[in-house]
Structure 1
Amino acid sequence: MTVTAWTAAQVARKVIENKELFILDVRNEDAFKDWKIEGHKFDYLNIPYFELLDGVDEILPQIPAEKEVLVVCAKEGSSIMVAEMLSDAGLSVGYLEGGMKSWSMYLEPIKVGDLNNGGELYQFVRLGKGCLSYMAINGGEAAIIDAVRFTDVFTDFAKEKGVEIKHVFDTHLHADHISGGRHIAEKTGATYYLPPKDAEEVVFDYTALEDGLTVTLGASEIEVGAMYSPGHTIGSTSFVIDGKYLLTGDILFIDSIGRPDLAGLAEDWVGDLRETLYKRYRTLAGDLIVLPAHFMIIDELNEDGTVAKRLGDLFAENHGLNVQDEKQFRSMVTDNLPPQPNAYQEIRIVNMGKVTPSDEEQTEMEIGPNRCAVR
């Protein structure tokens, strides 16, 4: 039997198209429990590589013959060896090129919908990390919001669409992933915007992202309006695009709400978080489509792979928006929070421009699941 190399893009299509897949993950048990490739119809077997050094005979009965089988490890080496052993035993299997490292880095661009006068809005879904970035295009121009560090993905996509990147925004100073925003701006000559209340320690030039700021895209003047919405950070800012879409950054997710503790100021910011979620957002139209900067679980993906839902539906269904007792809300967002993101303090310093780690160091900083939400 042959061993097939799978790209992260091929695995992403299995997730988005809701296909079946059996994954043999040969990383250590703690790594697997902390973070794995999530799929609606995926089945898993976790056997650490070192337990398979003497052969795979004992696990053969646990591997289904009727499903596609993918072997996964951290960086690919161990998965190739295990896949070859399974192939020698008569199974047709694949391995993930680049391992979980490549899965963490992959971005899938998906069209969210149309804007007025021929514009389009795209969501870039980073399935392995839960990050969501956006590009609005119209009239030959583009605006990017919450770009991750893989700048070529965005510049190449803009080139493919025949548009010039004019505006780049970060909704806040990110703590769980390294932003590519200012680097895209430097590369393209675009204006880079950052909320000034989050930028007190940054060491680079930026344009202040102020409440009420509006920029236009192309001749048809699609508005990208900024709305101050603190709580996850003191500068967190939301966007209403074209009167249709609400980009909430890390304040509001589909299945949860943002955590206020990643700068060590949970007690100080919990009031701002509640004010944003229970007052500021309540003034907005319920038919706005919420587009967050992250997702937590695979069930938050729609059938087309996007992460999006009506604001009115979230007011009805999202538990974090329905805690009427303020004391209980305060407890929910300050007590018993999930573990903080891997290297989040170092990532904040990188996003301030104070240090510039190597690509390998940046990859290690970002490894692991998204942990921006209250659960």
Structure 2
Amino acid sequence: MASETDVKIITVKELVKKIFNHEDVFIIDARNTDDFDDWKIEGKNVEIINAPYFELLEGVDSIVDKLPKDKEIYVVCAKGGSSVFVAQQIAEAGFTNVYSVEGGMKAWSEHLEPIKIGELKNGGDLYQFVRIGKGCLSYLVISNGEGAMIDTSRMLDPYEPFLKKQDLKLTHVLDTHLHADHISGGRKLADKFDAKYYLPPKDANEVTFNYEEINDGDEYTVGQTTIKAIYSPGHTIGSTSFIIDDQYLLTGDILFIDSIGRPDLAGKAEDWVGDLRTTLYKRYKELADDLLVLPAHYMGIEEMNNDGSVSKKLSALFQQNHGLNITDENEFRKTVTENLPPQPNSYQEIRETNMGKIAPEEEQQREMEIGPNRCAVR
């Protein structure tokens, strides 16, 4: 049997860098097939095969002919345990560059990669945090020593060292809406850094905590930069977009790069479809074409730019995004109420957590979030 020293370990951060750098990556996913089919590691140059752990207990003869001799091989499982065993089996079969992905898909789901989107007019920067394993996108506005976080993910560990390295005073933490597919870390981050937490009041009828209201037309000053709130319902009744520095449009879960938001996660699809169309076809039409759209989620790796960021000009989306080009209102209504993916895992429990109604333990929160992004109309 190969020793553990024959198997190298790679962190999720290192693997993400390879994917963002468009390196050829070969992965064996040792989870069961149902889990693999539901959600897997993706990338433009990623080749991945499913080989369940229990099928490899006696060796890897069944997959040897599928393994590349001239590439590094990365083995991933649910939490990083089984992958070490499978990697050892592969090493024993004569393959030298075999790695186990540390922490498995649990770590993949929780990794956040900060990417600089651009500079602000009066000095400062806008960063996008890409949660590649979940398709979530959050944002940090930096201006004159102050900062604002928007659509914060549950895990605060990746944000905190970044904020401290930038030597920022965090002044605002905002959520574009009450999220249903992931647990917001907004309130927790605001408490930790003595910042104010903001939420649209129309999404907050059932929340159990104090918050600052986000209303249409409100403006927030962060350093020398202005964040303007634009009421944009349709995904939720309170959904609000933000225009930053007259350059960037943060659309929350209303408009994505290759799709549009779904209106059904609060059981209100028929009620909210009209709001969704009004936001997309009227409110957004009145905005400047050259705004760079920055959504709160993305659906697939093909929506990423070469640096791993997710963005596109509003004018390009009006030309290319099918959801913005359905002229018949009845056809639009049918598309966004009938053409929906499965609802996110535990979405009702996630909504109640974000309302403050329940407070699941950390491991339970992690399990609630496992799986792909399902906030968009396909």
TM-score range, shorter chain: over 0.9
Q: Does residue 60 of structure 1 match 2:64?
A: yes
Task: Write the deviation string for residues 213-244 of structure 1: whole angstroms up to 9, x where unpaired.
Answer: 101112x2x11000000000000000000000
- What do residues 29-74 of structure 1 show as CA deviations (whole Å, max 9, x unaligned)? 1111110001101111111111111111221111011222101111
CA distance in 2, matches of 1:53, 1:274: 53
The aligned residue for residue 162 of structure 1 is: 167
Q: Is the counterpart of residue 126 in structure 1 residue 131 in structure 2?
A: yes
Q: 1:179 aligns with which of 181, 184, 209?
A: 184
- Give the whole-Å Cα distance in 2 for the aligned partners of 1:55 and 1:304: 38
What is the correspondence of 1:75-94 to structure 2 with a 5 Å cutoff?
Answer: 75-91=79-95, 92-94=97-99
Cα distance in structure 1, aligned partners of 2:298 and 2:62 = 37
Cα distance in 1 for partners of 2:122, 2:242 equals 19
How far the C-alpha of 1:153 sits from its partner, in A, is: 2.0
Deviations 1:64-85 (A, max 9, x none): 1122210111111111100011
**Paired residue type of 1:318:** N
Residue pair 2:30, 2:77 contacting (<8 A) in 1 also: yes
Q: 2: CA distance between counterparts of 1:224 and 1:24?
A: 44
CA contact (8 A) 1:172 1:233 kept: yes
For residues 135-214 of structure 1, what are the structure 2 equivalents within 5 Å? 135-214=140-219
SS in 2 for 1:116: coil
1:2 Cα deviation from its structure 2 partner = 2.2
Does 1:333 find its partner at 2:336? yes
14, 36, 39: which one aligns with 2:40: 36
Alpha-carbon shift at residue 125 of structure 1 (Å): 0.2
TM-score, normalisation: structure 2:
0.98
Q: CA deviation at 1:340?
A: 0.4
Match of 1:8 in 2: 12
- 1:88-127, Cα deviation, whole Å (9 max, x unpaired): 1111210111110000000000000000221100000000
Matches within 5 A, 1:167-316: 167-218=172-223, 220=224, 222-316=225-319
Q: Which amino acid aligns with 1:306?
A: S
| Among candidates 111, 114, 121, match of residue 116 of structure 1 | 121
Would the aligned equivalents of 2:80 and 2:102 in 1 still touch at CA under 8 Å? Answer: yes
Alignment partners' CA distance in 1, 2:302 and 2:69: 27
The aligned amino acid for 1:192 is Y
Is residue 363 from structure 1 mapped to residue 366 from structure 2 by the alignment? yes
- Backbone CA RMSD of aligned residues: 0.8
1:13-40: CA deviation from partner (whole Å, max 9, x where unpaired) = 1121111111111111111111000110
Q: Which moved more, 1:222-231 or 1:67-76?
A: 67-76
Q: Deviation digits for residues 259-302 of structure 1, max 9, x if unmatched?
A: 00000000000000000000000000110000000000000000
Residue in structure 2 matched with residue 344 of structure 1 by the alignment? 347
Query: Aligned partners of 1:233 and 1:19: how far apart in 2?
Result: 39
CA-to-aligned-CA distance 1:127-181 (integer Å, 9 cap, x gap): 0000000000011000010000112322221110111100000000000000000
Match of 1:45 among 43, 46, 49: 49
* Mapped partners of 1:242, 1:2: distance in 2: 52
Distance 1:172 1:58 in 2: 48
For 1:152 and 1:21, the matched residues in 2 are separated by 27
**Whole-Å separation in 1 of the counterparts to 2:210 and 2:160:** 21
> What is the rounded CA distance, in whole Å, between the counterparts of 1:304 and 1:47 in structure 2?
30
Structure 1: how far apart are the matches of 2:39 and 2:302? Answer: 16
For the residues of structure 1 that align with 2:8 and 2:289, how far apart are their CA atoms?
A: 47
Moved over 2 A (4+): none
| 8 A contact 2:178–2:203 mirrored in 1 | yes
Distance 1:114 1:294 in 2: 22
Note the residue ranges of structure 2 that are not aligned, 5 or more in a row.
Answer: none
Report the AA paired with residue 333 of structure 2. Answer: R
Give the TM-score normalised by structure 1: 0.98
